[in-house]
Amino acid sequence: MVIITVFSKRKKELSEVKRKVVLIKHITDSIITYAKSWHPNEGILIVQGKKDKHVINVTGLIIPPFSTHGPYYSGFPVYELPFDLSYIGTIHSHPSGSNKPSLEDLNHFFGLVSIIICFPYEAQDIGAYDRNGNRMDVETGYYL
C-alpha cells in the first residue's frame, strides 16, 4: 500500500513539470513580421533550437522550401528538408484570433514543438504546444 502511494505521488510530480519555450526578442520580432506579411494567409517557418531538459531554446528560423500558404492551411513537404537535428519544430500563423492547434496541425506535427501566433500577431498572441496539444509556457523577450 505504501509503495503504491509513493509511486503515484511521484508520477503526479513528473506530469506536472511544464515545458517552456524561450524566444529572444529578435526572434519574436521576426515571427511577428513574418506572420503579418502573410496575412490574411497562414505563414509557416521551421524552428531551429536546442532542448535542455524542460526548456526549448529557439535559436533560429528557417523559411521552408516549397511551402504552401492559404487562409486555413500552410505546410511544406518534410522530405525536401535536409536532415538536421537542430530542426526542433515549426511555427505558423493563424489569421483567426485563436492560437490553439487544429486537428490538422496535430496530425502534421513535426519535431518537439508547434508554435502558433494568431491575429493580431503581437508577442502575447504566441502559443506553444507539444505533440499531444498540451500548452507550454512561452517566453518572448518582451515584458507582457
Q: Which residues bind Zn ion (CB under 5 A)?
A: 102, 105
Q: How far is the CB of 100 from Zn ion (least distance, A)?
A: 9
Which DSSP string corresponds to 32-65?
A: HHHHHHHTTS--EEEEEEEEETTEEEEEEEEPPT
- CB nearer to Zn ion: give 59 or 102: 102
Q: How far is the CB of 49 from Zn ion (least distance, A)?
A: 20
Contact 71, 95 (CB under 8 A): yes
- CB nearer to Zn ion: give 19 or 108: 108
Contact 138, 25 (CB under 8 A): no
Q: How far is the CB of 41 from Zn ion (least distance, A)?
A: 12
- CB nearer to Zn ion: give 24 or 95: 95
Using CA atoms, how far residue 41 sits from 37, 69, 96, 102, 126, in Å, is: 9, 6, 10, 15, 17
d(CA 107, CA 33): 27
Q: How far is the CB of 52 from Zn ion (least distance, A)?
A: 27
- CB nearer to Zn ion: give 30 or 41: 41
